[in-house]
Amino acid sequence: MYVEPSSSSSESVQHQSAIEVSCLDFSYGSKRALNNVTFSVNENFIFGLLGPNGGGKTTLFRILCTLYIPDRGTVRVAGLDVKENQSEVRRKIGVVFQSNSLDVELTVEENLFAQGHLHGFRGSMLAERVSSLLDRFGLRDQCKDRVRTLSGGLCRRLELAKGLLHQPQILLLDEPTVGLDPAARQEFWRYLSLLRERENMTILVTTHLMEEAERCDRLVILDKGLVVASGSPLDLKDKIGGDVIVIQTPQPRVLREQIEAKFKLTPTVIGGTVRIELQQGHEFVSKLMASCSKWIEAITVGKPTLEDVFIHETGHRFWSAED
């Protein structure tokens, strides 16, 4: 399990900006991947970039890591411009990529030592850091095991330890739990929460998983390169308010017209469903069934979710049929 390092100090947290993105554009040739993206990340926050495939998350992540240079706009990480201070930015950030960056033929310990050498560490300082990380992330018993023998969860723990070896101020993670089972995903997020709480770490994570986005202090929701919503998960859901009623029907457009005429509401058609956002939705359902039952196959009523926020802002589902 993760162990709090004995050397950490309990300083008061001041929520200043660790990352600032302003009017950011980026294109792949004629295809615009990011369009006027603006947001900031407070220090000591877990910040999420939520979006479907093709939303722009990974492109934005690579700009923050200094791998891509923006076409327009400014990006500052730890107060440093990513265009002008690439080497300095890289010293301030730890990065965990979506794909595996471990050498599977090396042991756990050897991977950490190799990473330390890349950062210029040698001798007793490097040995102490490696030893500390093995203990903090519960990898001591596996330190002599080759990476190819590890489970997915242990590999992600090692990736996280590797990204923290040079003691960065900011940790950037690109869909870090892809391929993990639910238990390993839960464990990985527990480590992230402890890093934030015990070491005042600022963490930015990209994800397409709603349950992960719910764990973030604040979110930016991206769709087709645009910021469509931002705020805490609770605030974003509260903007919808009331209940979300989803109606399965063989004739969604006919049912929508009936609801508009009889109840003076403005439902939306999403695929084969009709959606209504309404206060006291459970009370409305009985009236709807009494009036329009012949067009209704099933009804669900629930409080707004982050997917409902996405649909409310974009007019389409988070996942396409192809996804």
DSSP per-residue letters across 16-40 = -EEEEEEEEEEEETTEEEEEEEEEE
Phi/psi of residue 199, nearest 5 degrees: -125, 10
Cβ atoms of residues 70 and 86 within 8 Å: no
| Domains along the sequence of the chain with CATH | 17-236 (3.40.50.300), 242-303 (3.30.70.1150)
Rounded distance between C-alpha atoms, residue 8 and residue 92, angstroms: 18
Predicted pLDDT of residue 94: 94
Predicted pLDDT of residue 319: 75
Cβ atoms of residues 56 and 34 within 8 Å: yes
Rounded distance between C-alpha atoms, residue 271 and residue 23, angstroms: 33
3-state secondary structure of 156: helix
Predicted pLDDT of residue 21: 98
Predicted pLDDT of residue 72: 96
The residues with which 266 forms a beta bridge, in sequence order, are none
Predicted pLDDT of residue 178: 84
Predicted pLDDT of residue 199: 86
Q: What is the pLDDT along the chain (323 residues), one digit of tens a residue?
A: 445 444 443 344 446 899 999 999 999 999 999 999 999 999 999 999 999 988 999 999 999 999 999 999 999 999 999 999 999 999 999 999 888 889 999 999 999 999 999 989 999 999 999 999 999 889 999 999 999 999 988 998 999 999 999 999 999 999 988 888 888 889 889 989 988 988 889 999 999 999 999 999 999 999 999 999 999 999 999 988 789 999 999 999 999 999 999 999 999 999 889 999 999 888 999 999 999 999 999 999 999 999 999 999 998 888 764 54
Q: Where are the beta strands (DSSP E) in the chain?
A: 17-28, 31-42, 46-50, 72-77, 80-81, 93-96, 170-174, 202-207, 218-223, 226-231, 243-248, 268-270, 273-278, 298-302
Give the DSSP H/E element, type plus range, for residue 70: none
Strand pairing category for 273-278 and 243-248: antiparallel
* Alpha carbon of residue 46 to chain centroid: 9
